[in-house]
Structure 1
Amino acid sequence: MKYKVVVVDDHLLIAKAIAAMVQEMKDFEVLYEAENGSVLLQKFKTRENIPDIVLLDISMPIMNGFETAQWLHDHYPGVKILVLSMQDDEASLIRMIKLGAKGYLHKNVHPAELEKALINLIERGMYFPQWATAVFFQTIAGPPPKESSKDEKLSNRELEFLHHVCSELTYKEIADLMCCSPRTVEGYRDALFEKLNIKTRVGLAMYAVKIGIVKVE
């Protein structure tokens, strides 16, 4: 089974080139291209047009990438967004992550990394290259709190889990490293979600950086 991809970009030649690259990948196929978010909305009215992944540009007329990401986040949260844009500034990256993007690449990306990103989105749920990770964590990383509140007291096993969350390991792989079952790891995750009022793995990784569990060079 091939995973379905849609390319959303207002530059026809670029959209065609990206689609051609994806079509060469053994695990993926392109359903169609859309020149902006408005066209994508219309396409989504047909169930067969709903993909697994949307490759999304930011600068587009009528309905840009930010607006499209917001709509997808609100109406189709199961569709993974991989931003593919010329904009690599901090503000665009952070805004897209907040809107639910699971990956962010520059348009000059090598085809091999694009394929790696698509595979990671399917298998691990996200993909951010080193430059994006550095920008993101440097933005949110602040000095560790002097003292955690009572609600934020974490066990040693929860702290160990937080450290692994910042890697590209799957939850099953984390369970193997921690010598426990995947269900136990999910229990650590859910407990941290509740204690820290965090809802995503990215949020847990952000917290891990903030309190100094993971250092950003």
Structure 2
Amino acid sequence: MKKTIVIVDDHVLIAKALEGIIDNFKDFEVIYVAENGKDLIQKFENNNKIPDIILLDISMPIMDGFETVLWLKENHPNIKVMALSMQGDDKSVIKMIKNGAKGYLLKNTHPKELENAIKKLNNDGFFYPEWASKIIFSNLGNDAVVENNLKISDREREFLKYTVTELSYKEIADKMCCSPRTVESYRDQLCDKLELKTRVGLAVFAMKNGFA
């Protein structure tokens, strides 16, 4: 069964072009388009189907991408949100991720890269291209806790090493010779200890504190 996608973009031509591109992808289909965050909420309230993935523009009237992704995080946390924008500045990237976006792409992305990004987002739960990762790593984790003040087990250390790779949690589990559920428990325990919320935050901590 194909994973469902909703596009939220106030530029109708761009949204329709995206819809046509994505509908040619083997594993995904666009089920509808919304013009902004408020329009999306209204569609949800009118019992439109809740999608697996949302591709979200940032600059929109009435309710922009920053507000929309925050609302989605609070009301539909299981939806995976990919920011798809012309804005690639540090402030926009960091704010979208802090508000709940699990991926970030620019609108000039090649269709093949878009398909790969959506697959990664669906399978791994996140996707950030190299340029976005550099922004994240240079702006997050400045308040990371010093290792000596933490009780990090050897297995958690091993898990931290893998957070900076492109391996999925299932692939990390294979490397660590344990179940995916065990890997998820390492992730949750570390997030609690470090007061972090995402794999990106864990990866930043790992890099800044010599685990990777």
Alignment of 1:70-149 (within 5 A): 70-142=70-142, 148-149=148-149
Structure 2: 5+ residue runs without aligned partners?
none
One-letter amino acid of the structure 2 residue matched with residue 122 of structure 1: N
Structure 2 CA distance for partners of 1:147 and 1:80, relative to 1, 3 Å: closer
Q: Is the 8 Å Cα contact of residues 8 and 35 (structure 2) preserved in structure 1? A: yes
Q: Is the 8 Å Cα contact of residues 72 and 79 (structure 1) preserved in structure 2? A: yes
Structure 2 CA distance for partners of 1:120 and 1:147, relative to 1, 3 Å: closer
1:50 is paired with a residue whose SS is coil
How much has 1:130 moved relative to structure 2? 0.5
Q: Is the 8 Å Cα contact of residues 4 and 52 (structure 2) preserved in structure 1? A: yes
1:108 is paired with a residue whose SS is coil
How much has 1:179 moved relative to structure 2? 2.6
Worse overlay, 180-189 or 40-49? 180-189
Q: Would you say how many aligned residue pairs link Structure 1 and Structure 2?
A: 212
Separation in 2 of the partners of 1:180 and 1:202?
A: 22
Structure 1: 5+ residue runs without aligned partners?
none
State the match for 1:198 in structure 2: 196
Q: How much identity, in percent, do the aligned residues show?
A: 56
Separation in 2 of the partners of 1:147 and 1:72?
A: 34
Q: Is the 8 Å Cα contact of residues 140 and 210 (structure 1) preserved in structure 2? A: no
State the match for 2:29 in structure 1: 29
State the match for 1:173 in structure 2: 171
Separation in 2 of the partners of 1:12 and 1:67?
A: 20
How much has 1:162 moved relative to structure 2? 0.2
State the match for 2:157 in structure 1: 159
Structure 2 CA distance for partners of 1:18 and 1:162, relative to 1, 3 Å: same
Separation in 1 of the partners of 2:194 and 2:12?
A: 44
1:44 is paired with a residue whose SS is helix
Let me know the Cα RMSD of the aligned residues: 1.9
1:83 is paired with a residue whose SS is strand
Worse overlay, 60-69 or 189-198? 189-198
Separation in 2 of the partners of 1:146 and 1:23?
A: 47
State the match for 1:4 in structure 2: 4
